[in-house]
Structure 1
């Protein structure tokens, strides 16, 4: 029973894909958090040009 569970490769690609998407989402949230105040201050400057 343990061998069939550990030996199964079904869904491996989906798990890897979801892990990559999760890492990208975390990186985007971190980048927007770090740049959030800078972006909100620079948007009015860009619209005035």
Structure 2
């Protein structure tokens, strides 16, 4: 998944947590307004971004 996040590095405008019956996820909002759904919780996504 880090490879996928690396493609968005520098373009991320916001991270938004999403809570559903299926589990926690994160929406990555890019500077273009595009929304990417990531199937991990926001804490995991933040950690992965910090490792880049």
Normalization by structure 2: what TM-score?
0.25
Normalization by structure 1: what TM-score?
0.27
Q: Flag the structure with higher helix content.
A: 1
Name the larger-Rg structure.
1
Q: Flag the structure with higher strand content.
A: 2
Tell which has more relative contact order, 1 or 2 (C-alpha 8 A, sep 6+).
Answer: 2
